[in-house]
Structure formats: C-alpha cells, structure tokens
C-alpha cells in the first residue's frame, strides 16, 4: 500500500504545467476554497496540492501517468455537485478538473446517440438531443451537473420508473486508466458480450477505477404528450399501497413521487408556494409520457379509476403546461423548503423494495424522533428510493446534532437492510457514507470491492479513500 | 498461477459425495459424453473428472470450497445450450450441474419480480410470469436454456430492441464466490449506488467470476396486443437503410429482423416452409407490442407509411395469430434451414452500429467468398447483431474448412472492429473465441480482464481458460 503518498514538489508542478498549460494550473492559496469539497462539506474538506483543468484526453492521460509514476493521488472533479464527498482530495495531490472538456459532438441520428466529453452539462446534453427531436431521459434534480459526474455516479432522478438510470443510456466510454493508458469500454453498439462488462462496472464507480474522458449516450424519440396526475390519499399507507397498483396498469408511468402533506405545508410556509391540490395526509404524483394522445388519455383514465377505487380522495389531471408546472415546481422546491425550515440537514437516500415504502417511512420517523431530530422522508415512490432528510432545529448543539444524526443513520441503514433495501439509491458512497458500507455489505463484499479497486488501480493513486479505504491508520 | 491443477483422487470423490449425495455424482466413464461439451463441440471436448448435480446453495458452496482448497477446477453447467464452448472442463476437474436447482418462487406481485434458481428453464420462467399476467421479455431462440445460463451469458434475443437484454431484467443475484463464500449482489430494488456494480459485471461473465445460485428478475405488465409487419425491399441496402427510419418513429418496435431472399429460399427449399410475402431481395420484419389497440394501429400505420415512402415494395400487416406465426416460424427456422443446406457451420455473431449493417453484410460476403465458403448473414437489424453463418459445402476437406473459417473469422472480426462494432453480440467468448479476443481488444484490456478475473478468483479454480487464459503453455 502506498501510504503515505508523496507530496507534489516544485518539479512536479512544473511538469504538470508543461503537459497542460500554466494558465490552467493553480497551486496552494490560489486554489479556490470550493475545490476542497463538493455540495456536502460535511463529508470532508480537503485542499488539493494542485488544481489543473484538462482540455483533452491526452492531458488527462499525462497528468494521471505522472501521479501513477510518482505515487501522488489524482482526483477528478466535474461541477462539484456531488452529494457523497466523492470528488475531493482526501490524501491531497492533484485535483483534475474536466469542466473545460465540455464538447458535445453532433447527434448521430442513424444510431440515435450523442457523444460528449465529461464536462458537458446535463442540461446542454438534454438540449442537444431535443434540438434533433430526440430525448435524453435521465433527469436528476441538478441540471448543471456534468454528464461525466452523472455517469460516474449513475445518476437517477424521477423518470427512472419508466426510462431507467443513467447506466441504461451509456453505450460506451473512453477512459484513462490509473497508469495513464487510454481504453474504450464497448462501442456504439446496442448489445455486447465481448468479455467482461467493464462499462457497467465503471458506471457508478465514483471516479475510483478510471477517468471518464468521453461517453456515448443512447437517445430516444421524444414523447409528444405528457400529463401529471395528483392523487391525495388519507394517509401514507394508502398512498404507498397505490404504487404497485399503478405499476400493474398496462401503461408504465414515467415518474411516481410521494409527498406527505406536512412537507407540502413546509414548502407553502417557507417558500410561499401553494400546492394545487388540497386534502389528504399524503399525495401521490404520477407522470405519464406518450407518443399518442389516445394512449396518454387511456393511461390517465385507467390510473384515475384505479386511484379512486383504492381510496384516493381525488384525482386531479394536470394536462396543461401551467398546471403541470404548478405541481412539479412544488416537488422541485422540497429540498429548498426543508433548508429554509431548519438550520442544518443530513441526508440518507436508501432504496427499499417498492413493497416496503410505507413500513420504511413509518419506522424512519420513529428512529429520528427517538434521537430528538425531525425527519421528513419523501421521494421516488416508483423506485423505492426515499430521500430521508434529517432536519436540525435551532438550538441544537453541534455535538448533539452530530451524535443524533450518526445514531439515526446507523439505524436507518440497518432498517433498510432489514427490509431488503440498499444503503444508497442515487447519491453513492464517496467519503460520506464510507463508514456505513462495511456494516451494510459485510466483510467478504468489502474484500471483493478492494480486489476490484486493485485490479484497476494497484497503486491506489486514483481518488483514494472513496468507496473503499485501505489506510487503516486513517 | 496454479497450473498444473490437481486431479481429483478417490478421497476427493468421496468428499464430493459426502457433501452432496452419491446418487448425484458420476465419475469417469459413467459421465455422459454430452457433458464434455456444449452445443459447439468444435470449441472443445473436455471430459470432467467428476460430474455432480447440486440441489442447493449449500452444496454449491461446499463443492466450490473443496475445489478452491485443493486446487481443482470447478465448472458450472446448466442446460449445455451455450454456443461459445464456455461450460466445459478445459482443465478437467469437477463439472457442477445446476439443472436440479430449478425452483421458481411465487411471483412477487407488489415488486413485479420473480426469483428463481439457476436451473429453472427460460420457458418455465416466462410461463410463471405469464400466469400472473406479467411478462419476462428476454427471448433468445433457445427456450430450454436455463435462466442461470441466460444471466451468466447476458442472453439477448429478438425483443432486445424494445425491452433490452437479460441484464436489464436482473434485479439481484445470490452467488458463490470461488472460495465458497455466499454473497448477494444488490437486492430487490429498482436502483442502487451502494458501491461497485458487481451485479452487472457478473451478468455476462460466462461463469468465470462466481457461481450464480439465485436470481431475482424484473417483470413487466404483459402487452395486450401485438402485430408484425413484413416489408420486402429491392435490396439489402434499402432494407438496412430503413432500420434507423423505423427507430425514429414515435413508437419503439419490439423487434426488427432482416432476412435476405436467398435465405428465405433456403428455408423454403430445405424445410418446405414458405414465407408468406413474395418479392424483394431483402425483407425487414418489424414487430410492435402495445397496451392499447389504437396505439398499436397508429404504430403500424406510421411504420407502413414510412416503409412505402422509403422504397419498400409492399408492407404486409400480420395481425392474426396465424399470420404472425407464418412469418416468425420461417424466421425461427433459419438456423435449421442452413444446417440442412450445408454439411457444417461456423458462426460469427458480431454486433455493429446499426448504421453499419449494410456495409458489414456486403463486406462479410466478399470475405467468405474470397476464402471459398458460403456465408449467409441475417439477424437482429434493430440492434446491429448479425449472425454470420459460415456454411460448409459437401466435398470440402476438414483442413480446407478449418483454415477457410479461421481466415474468414479473423477478417470478419477485424471488419467489425473497423466499423465500430464488437466481437460478439450475444454468444460470448468462452473457449471458442478466446484466440480472437486479444487482437480485438488489445493487450491493455486483456491485462485488465485478467486483473478482474483474479480479483474474484485468485487461484483460477472457477472455469479456468475461458474469456481469459493465463496458461501460456497451453
């Protein structure tokens, strides 16, 4: 094991400048403080020794090779919008930004794909597809995240119910391995059994196995029609019980979200955003997309019928852009509302079998309450991914907050495991959830993870200390 | 590296009997000859030292652990329907059959999944889903293959265009690692970013990383309506050019197959199965599934219109079970027809970008012709996976056939690579395509593959010599 790593010296700094460009390199105090963390500084603030912006695969390879040969960690950063403390220089070293590698190549209409560099923003990729009448479905909340970050964390989002995750849209990847080699994982083909499926292993590997330098994404014909249904239910159980019933209908919904009324009231109170449908202890929001109008109408009618049959108080069909926006803008403001309603947040994004949503939510509230903190679960009912936001009230000491969240998270993860769930549905492990991973997966799986990490990065120079930690003296 | 492996001795045989059952163990000449190969004896006939049928995960673990501790290879076999020479005892040792582990657990309606043991047959899994009004879409030609074999080779089939591959339906896997440990990769959840995506790496790993002992599969609501369109085109180019146009339409087809007229004539001549639509040098067959009748009709109308606009001679809509069967029974008889029309076959199942289908087919014919053999490509136009069947005519010597096929395959794989394709779309590498893999992927990727293999199987006791070969004295 290479601990301790070498520190970058003056010669190293000059070398990095020589293989990139001096005006794209910063060292020491010239490095912006924000490059020491992602969106969750709680998961670690680690200043890099050097920050460099690469322009192309050749530069990425040269920087990585230098790190490999000199035993200096390299960490890649996109927009810094991660929520797991993944893109940080935990052991100092080089922070390699790909934000300037943001090219989007012309859409390949015949293969219905688009190829881009990792620094391209999700919203720009979506726009490039739309300009050709095509559609890139993955739709995580943060649209100014980079596409590289989306791929490397297998970003999810609300539309996963129908379309799947980022993984399902990755055709092929060009990557730089920790020794600096440039390789391709698959190509622009629809299926592939040519040896091990390294592509899918790399998707979601949080920048610990290789550096993504180019990705080709599958696109779909854009659906022409969309509609959103809002179904208030008397309580959470009835709301959660509706989810499998919706999925049993012949048309697959694009998104199924659930929100409890008290959460809607928080958004209303803190942000003055009223939710258009009154009543009910919990609300199910169901979105349908369709290529034909009849198909959409049939899908909505069947879902409304089923909702009313299974105890919904009402079923509001939002089919104009304004009405649709009035529903989703409240859903989109949830996190902001919770932030306005508390002085601190910690988040747990477990995923449980869809059949276990209600049980999880009820138990989660009890757990948090027992530790003296508020918890507000909400999220992706269609895929069982529950964002469980722990909220800090004013007056709680740092120490009390820290120990209450730690104890709550420990129990929440154990609860998810007991219900057949997983530790993280979308946000990943990074540094922030590292300590919870081994208790969750067990020693044998961690040993396998370490062996996989070493298969790619035997010198542990690429984003060390994330997902797996070899340094027992840490 | 553990070569040479140990041979199983009398004590070993007794031990295997003791952890399983003597009536499920065979040794030496009592082992059926068919257990020395899969559907492609051309890719190697390797008699095992011992054949054992396991009944449960505990037995699988015990046998594997014995192999691990005693340096004796273990190879898992399902129905033996593989086409890559994958499930064979290349270095002797134990052949572990999972055919008796064929339980299918009750369908989980709330989560829309079914859990089964690896020996369950594909057709039984499909039937179990159908009995609950649900649908397991992957549909490779061989319905009596085991579901374990389907998962471990990431089986494809015709319906991949709309629904994807076996991989896309695998929720989670229980597996035995080469050291005998029992582990779970993911759980019955829709999405998961809890560390490395080992599940997807295991899917398609051809039994070289771990032994699958249980799998949970995603199901879908069964589509209610189906329809098949037959579009004859003057020639292959026009036919292939139609593929992206079909995929650009708002409704995604379930399957898109292409067949050249001479292939239809072979089936007609050898099997007396007439194809219901005359004319044209090449035929595109397009299948649509739908939940609503209007949706299906719109999809068919749009596709027919587009076909006639882009040069189809005709567009026949088959919408009764009889007419649909008359089309697909000919498609299903292609391989049988080619077998009846030749005295030997070798097969290449490259996958190319959809935009390159016509170019590949034309060049493939030239390549085979130059080596004095007939070639008849056909297959999955919707995903660019072309089954290129090399046909041996009577009178060709063994040596001439061997050298001509080898030379043809070498050039066909190079052609696929040049067109941005891959070596295998469905059948995998196994033993049969091993020698072609390194020239295709390059030395660095093979080195990575070897490191991945070692991460799971550092003693190389599980299905050694498949996908990667460590024994340089072989």
- What's phi and psi for B467, nearest 5 deg? 65, -55
- Could you tell me the residue ranges of all domains in chain B? 113-221, 225-335, 342-430
Q: Which residues in chain A have Cβ-Cβ distances shorter than 8 Å to B205?
A: 196-197
Sites in chain A below the pLDDT cut of 70: 1-3, 473-474
* Closest approach of B215 to chain A, Cα-based (Å): 14
Nearest residue in B to A178, CA atom? B448
| Interface mutation target, options B194, B412, B460, chain A, most CBs of A under 10 Å | B194
* Closest approach of B446 to chain A, Cα-based (Å): 9
pLDDT, tens digit, 9 for 90 and up, residues A261-285: 999 999 999 999 999 999 999 999 9
| Interface mutation target, options B114, B167, B196, B446, chain A, most CBs of A under 10 Å | B196
What ipTM was reported for this prediction? 0.96
- Whether residues A221 and B249 touch (CB distance < 8 A) is answered with yes
Architecture of domain A342-430: 2-Layer Sandwich (3.30)
- Whether residues B189 and A153 touch (CB distance < 8 A) is answered with no
- Whether residues B449 and A190 touch (CB distance < 8 A) is answered with no
* Closest approach of A139 to chain B, Cα-based (Å): 14
Q: Report pLDDT for A2.
A: 57
- Whether residues A221 and B437 touch (CB distance < 8 A) is answered with no
Q: Which residues in chain B have Cβ-Cβ distances shorter than 8 Å to A187?
A: 353, 420-422
- Whether residues A189 and B427 touch (CB distance < 8 A) is answered with no
Sites in chain B below the pLDDT cut of 50: 1, 474
* Closest approach of B77 to chain A, Cα-based (Å): 19
Domains A225-335 and A342-430 agree in fold: yes
Q: Which residues in chain B have Cβ-Cβ distances shorter than 8 Å to A442?
A: 183
Residues contacting B274, CB < 8 A, separation 6+: B268, B330
Q: Report pLDDT for B471.
A: 84
Q: Which residues in chain A have Cβ-Cβ distances shorter than 8 Å to B188?
A: 353, 420
Q: Report pLDDT for B379.
A: 85
Q: Report pLDDT for B2.
A: 57
* Closest approach of B270 to chain A, Cα-based (Å): 32
Peptide bond into A366 cis (omega under 30): no
Q: Which residues in chain B have Cβ-Cβ distances shorter than 8 Å to A204?
A: 193, 196-197
Distance between CA A163 and CA A171 in Å, rounded?
A: 15
Q: Which residues in chain B have Cβ-Cβ distances shorter than 8 Å to A292?
A: 250-251, 294-295, 298
Q: Which residue of A181, A200, A425 is in closest CB contact with B191? A: A425
* Closest approach of A108 to chain B, Cα-based (Å): 9
- Whether residues A188 and B353 touch (CB distance < 8 A) is answered with yes
Q: Is B182 helix (H, G, I), strand (E, B) or coil?
A: strand
Structure tokens at A234: 């008397």
Instruction: Return the number of CB contacts < 8 Å for A and B.
Output: 265
Q: Which residues in chain A have Cβ-Cβ distances shorter than 8 Å to B353?
A: 110-111, 187-189
Q: Which residues in chain B have Cβ-Cβ distances shorter than 8 Å to A352?
A: 189
Nearest to A215 by CA among A257, A256, A264, A155: A155
**Among the four given CATH numbers 3.30.420.40, 3.40.50.800, 3.30.465.10, 3.65.10.10, the one describing domain B113-221:** 3.30.465.10
Q: Which residues in chain A have Cβ-Cβ distances shorter than 8 Å to B167?
A: 197, 200
Nearest residue in B to A210, CA atom? B448
Could you tell me which CATH class the domain B225-335 is placed in? Answer: alpha beta
Residue A459 sits at the vertex; the CA angle it makes with A456 and A465, to the nearest 5 degrees, is 85
Q: Report pLDDT for B378.
A: 87
């Amino acid at each position: 094991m290479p601990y301790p790593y070498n520190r970058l010296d003056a010669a190293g700094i000059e070398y990095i400048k020589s293989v990139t460009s001096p005006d794209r390199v910063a060292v020491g105090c010239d490095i912006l403080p924000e490059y020491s963390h992602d969106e969750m500084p709680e998961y670690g603030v680690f200043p890099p020794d050097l920050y460099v912006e690469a322009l192309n695969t050749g530069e990425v390879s040269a920087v990585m090779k230098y790190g490999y040969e000199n035993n200096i960690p390299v960490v890649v950063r996109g927009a810094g919008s991660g929520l797991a403390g993944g893109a940080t220089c935990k052991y100092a070293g080089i922070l390699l930004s790909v934000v300037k590698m943001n090219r989007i190549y012309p859409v390949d209409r015949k293969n219905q794909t688009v190829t881009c560099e990792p620094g391209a923003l999700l919203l720009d990729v979506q726009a490039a597809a739309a300009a050709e009448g095509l559609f890139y479905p993955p739709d995580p909340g943060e649209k100014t995240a980079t596409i590289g970050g989306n791929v490397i964390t297998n970003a999810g989002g609300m539309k996963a119910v129908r379309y799947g995750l980022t993984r399902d849209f990755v055709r092929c990847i060009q990557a730089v391995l920790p020794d600096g080699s440039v390789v391709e994982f698959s190509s622009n083909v629809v299926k592939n059994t040519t040896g091990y499926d390294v592509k899918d292993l790399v998707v979601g590997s949080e920048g610990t196995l290789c550096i993504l330098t180019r990705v080709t994404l599958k696109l779909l014909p854009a659906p022409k029609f969309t509609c959103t249904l809002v179904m208030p239910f008397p309580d959470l159980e009835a709301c959660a019980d509706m989810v499998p019933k919706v999925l049993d209908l012949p048309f697959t919904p694009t998104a199924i979200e659930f929100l409890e009324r008290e959460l809607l009231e928080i958004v209303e109170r803190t942000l003055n955003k009223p939710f258009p449908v009154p009543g009910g202890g919990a609300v199910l929001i169901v979105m349908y997309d369709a290529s034909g109008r009849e198909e959409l109408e049939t899908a909505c009618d069947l879902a409304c019928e089923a909702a009313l049959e299974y105890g919904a108080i009402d079923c509001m069909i939002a089919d104009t852009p304004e009405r649709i926006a009035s529903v989703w803008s409240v859903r989109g403001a949830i996190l902001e509302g919770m932030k306005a309603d508390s002085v601190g947040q910690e988040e747990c994004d477990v995923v449980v079998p869809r059949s276990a949503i209600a049980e999880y939510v009820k138990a989660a509230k009890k757990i948090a309450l027992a530790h003296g903190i508020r918890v507000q679960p909400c999220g992706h009912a269609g895929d069982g991914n529950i964002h469980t936001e722990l909220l800090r009230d004013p007056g709680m000491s740092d120490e009390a907050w820290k120990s209450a969240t730690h104890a709550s998270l420990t129990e929440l993860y154990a609860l998810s495991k007991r219900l057949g769930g997983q530790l993280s549905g979308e946000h990943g492990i990074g540094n922030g959830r590292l300590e919870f991973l081994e208790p969750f997966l067990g020693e044998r799986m961690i040993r396998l993870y370490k062996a996989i990490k070493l298969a790619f990065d035997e010198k542990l120079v690429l984003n060390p200390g994330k997902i797996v930690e070899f340094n027992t003296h840490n």
